[in-house]
Amino acid sequence: MDRKTALITGATSGIGRATAHEFSKQGINLVLCGRRQERLDTIQNALERQTNVQTLNFDVRDNQATKKAIASLGEDFKNIDILINNAGNAHGLDPIQSGSTDDWDAMMDINVKGLLYVSKAIIPQMTERKSGHIINIGSSAGKEVYPKGNVYCASKHAVLAITEGMRIDLNPFGIKVSAINPGLVETEFSQVRFKGDAIADSVYKGYKALQPEDIAEIIYFAISRPAHVNIADLLVFPTAQANSTTVKKEQ
C-alpha cells in the first residue's frame, strides 16, 4: 500500500511535534516545518527509524519563503496528502486598551496569514489530484472570547471561519477540511505568550492539562477515518476545564 505524506507546521514543539511522533508510528511520511533547525534535526533523527522524514525551515509569515520551501520538496515528498496547519501561538494577554501592536501583528501574521500562505502553497496540488485532508488547529479561543484574549481569540475565530470557507470551496474536489480546537494544552505555548515570565509556569499548575499527545491521537483519529467520514469541527478540553474561564484547580 502507498504511504501517505503529511506536512506539519510547527513541528518543533508541542502539538506539532507530538503529531509527528504519532504519525511516524503509523508509517506516514513526514515533512516537518519550523524555524528552529536544530530541533528539526533532532526530531528527524529520532523518527527516521520509523518513517521517511524531510525538514523545511521557514517562517510562515514570509509568503515567498513559504512558497520556496514547499516548492523545493523532492519527488518523494512533494505530493502532500495531509496538511496539518498547526504553527501558531498567543503573544501577550492584555486588555485591548494596553495591548502591544507587535503582539497583534505576530498573532495575525502567524496564526491567520501564515496558515493561509502554507495552504495556498499546497491546495492546488490537492485540487489537481482531487484528494487531500487539511486539519487546521484552532482553539477553544476560536469559539469563545475571554478577558484579555481579544486578538488571539480573533485570530482563532478567523481560523475557524477559514476552515469553514475551505470546506465549502474544496467540497467539489472531495478534499476533507477539519478544525481541531483544543482548550488548555501543556506545551511551550505559555512560555511564548508570557515571553518567559514566571507566570508562564503557573498556567498548567493545580490541574491536569491536556498533553500534546492527547491532541496528536485525536488528529490521527481524524485523518484515519474512512473516505466518506470527515470530522468537521472538534472541541476538546481537559476534564478540569469547562470553558475558557472555568478551570477546577487544586489549591
Which residues lie near ligand NDP (CB under 6 A)?
9-16, 34-36, 59-61, 86-89, 110, 114, 137, 139, 182, 184-185, 187-189, 192, 212
155 scored as a contact of ligand 8X3 (CB under 6 A) = no
Q: Supply the angle between the helices 115-129 and 63-71 in degrees, to the nearest 10.
A: 40
244 scored as a contact of ligand 8X3 (CB under 6 A) = yes
Under DSSP, the state recorded for 34 is E
152 is catalytic: yes
| Residue 86 binding target from ligand NDP, ligand 8X3, none, CB below 5 to 8 Å by type | ligand NDP
Interface characters, 22-41, with ligand 8X3 (x: CB under 6 A):
--------------------
How far apart, in Å, are the Cα atoms of 237 and each of 4, 16, 184, 185, 208?
A: 29, 18, 7, 9, 11
User: In the complex, what is the shortest distance from the CB of residue 183 to ligand NDP, in angstroms, rounded to a whole number?
Assistant: 6
Strand partners, 31: 7, 54
Report how far residue 209's alpha carbon sits from residue 219's, in angstroms, rounded to the nearest whole number. 18
User: In the complex, what is the shortest distance from the CB of residue 251 to ligand 8X3, in angstroms, rounded to a whole number?
Assistant: 21
How far apart, in Å, are the Cα atoms of 178 and each of 20, 39, 163, 170, 204?
A: 18, 27, 7, 12, 27
Residues within the interface to ligand 8X3 (CB under 6 A):
90, 139-141, 149, 183-184, 244
Residues marked as catalytic: 152
